[in-house]
Structure formats: C-alpha cells, structure tokens
Chain A
C-alpha cells in the first residue's frame, strides 16, 4: 500500500510536541535544581547543604498557604539551625506578597519566584506544595496541600526521621 509521507509526519510531529510540552515535575528521589540559578528575589539561606530543608511553594491568594505559615514558623523555631525553611512565593506582583507578609510575620526565609521559572521546573501539583529534602539535597517527602494538624504531624515525623 502506498502511504503518503504526510500521514507519517503528522503523528510523529504530534508525538514530539506532546513530549516537549509534558511536565517533568519534581518528585521523591529527585534532587532539587540549583535554586541560585533561577534569579529568585530575596536572599537565599547561607547554608542548606547538610541540613534538612523544607522548600515550600506558596502564594498570597492561597488560603491553605496562609494556614500553613504558623506551622512552618513553629517548625523553624522547634528545630532551629538543623532545619531550613525556604518559602518560595510565586505571586506575580511583589506587592501582594509584601502585603501578605505584613500580616503573617515569619522568621524563616521567604524568596519570590516572580518570573515563575523555578516553579515551572518544579511543577507542583497544588498550592501549597512542600518538598522535604534530606541533608544531601534529595527530595525525601512531598506534601501536596496543607491539611492542618494532619500535615503538621507528618512534617514532624518526617523531619525527625531525617535528623536521626
């Protein structure tokens, strides 16, 4: 049978297109990309290597994110130097983040991914999404969303297991 080359080319082009647009989300077992290369606004923590790190993606318009902040603050105070909480804001307008932070004062590090480059690479499924990294920078636990006390208990359990 004589098949037109067009009938071969178009399905291949569609397949390549779908592969190119597919998300390669960060998952458990992966390493966090080098965040210093993403032009995040704000000062990154001095030392993340050798510490347990929570990288939390949040936005000012996201209610569960606001609910998670007191827990993040509690964890930072509870574990002190052994834990780095890095909250990555994905608001398009810095003013929205600033307004939020005025009413949710925190001691942990907050940076802004205003150009949404890092979040595109990490591709979290929900807002908020937090990744708990071991001292080698590998993602050990992943939390989609924040469910109050349940998530808080899981955080503590998981951080304790990594600090053993």
Chain B
C-alpha cells in the first residue's frame, strides 16, 4: 500500500467516524420528546394502516391472507 492509498483510507475512516454522534444520556431531551414517538398520531396511523390494508389486500393486507379481491 503506498502512502497516498494509506492516507486516503485513513481520511475515509476519520470522516466516516466523524459522522457518528454519540448522544449522551443527558442530551436526550429532544429524543425523549413526544413528537419523536412513532405512535404520536393515532388518527394518522389508522389512516395509513387502512390505506396499506386496502392496497395490499391481495397479499392479505395487514393481517393474514385475504381473498385477493383488493376491494377494501
């Protein structure tokens, strides 16, 4: 491995490593906010699930295998 390749590899590792942020336990205020919850909007979730179920009915929608009519 020549110097240039080694330098390039080291720089890549450093840049990639620099992109990782370690959020400390006392810095999790924003992460702990209610708006960060995936289930924060029950109505929206219900609508999204209905759309998914209707669209994917031929494959059983969100449950077990269905009739395949796709008519929900």
Binding site for B on A (CB under 8 A): 4, 6-7, 10, 14, 57, 59, 61-62, 90-92, 96, 116, 119-120, 123-127, 129
Contacts and interface: CB of A to CB of B under 8 A. Distances in A.
20 contacts: A4-B3, A6-B3, A7-B3, A10-B6, A10-B7, A10-B10, A57-B26, A59-B26, A61-B29, A61-B32, A62-B32, A90-B26, A116-B26, A119-B26, A120-B24, A123-B24, A124-B26, A125-B25, A127-B25, A129-B25
B63 to A, nearest CB: 33
B33 A61 contact: yes
- Range for the number of chain B residues in contact with chain A: 10 to 19
Interface of chain B, helix or strand or loop or mixed?
helix
Contacts of B24: 120, 123
A59 B6 contact: no
A67 to B, nearest CB: 14
Nearest to B10: A10
A23 B28 CA distance: 18
B26 A6 contact: no
Contact of B25 (A91, A92, A126): A126
B50 to A, nearest CB: 31
A7 to B, nearest CB: 6
B5 to A, nearest CB: 11
Contacts of B29: 59, 61, 91-92, 96
A129 to B, nearest CB: 8
A6 B7 contact: yes
Interface in B1-23: 3, 6-7, 10, 14
A123 B25 CA distance: 9
